[in-house]
Amino acid sequence: MNVPTDSHTASKELRVWLVATLSNAPEPADRPIVRDDMMRTWLPTDSRGYCSSDGRRTITWAELHARFDLVEVI
């Protein structure tokens, strides 16, 4: 796997949250854009939630994390 070289992340590595229902990971402080296991992109909103890239769905981090396996999008 290629290591990302994007300057938007401090660690220069992707974060992956697998087996979401078995993990109690808190919302990341930097609120990254994430993609779920159905390849939908979720964008952070001003109201501490996330919305789908088409703007048709909104969800909290807890709901998003509980329903889907997530990968950070850089």
Classify residue 58: in a domain, yes or no.
yes
Classify residue 46: in a domain, yes or no.
yes
Neighbouring residues of 15: CB distance < 8 A, sequence distance ≥ 6: 28, 32, 71, 72
Report how many domains make up the chain: 1
Nearest Cα to 43, choosing from 23, 13, 70? 70
Classify residue 10: in a domain, yes or no.
no
Q: Binning pLDDT at 50, 70 and 90, where does residue 52 land? A: very high
Classify residue 2: in a domain, yes or no.
no
Q: Which domain holds residue 54?
A: 16-72
45 to each of 4, 23, 33, how far by Cα in Å? 25, 23, 10
Classify residue 64: in a domain, yes or no.
yes
Classify residue 5: in a domain, yes or no.
no
Burial bucket for residue 67 (CB in 10 Å: 0-12, 13-18, 19+): middle
Question: pLDDT tens for residues 7-38?
Answer: 444 556 766 665 445 556 677 888 888 888 88
Classify residue 47: in a domain, yes or no.
yes
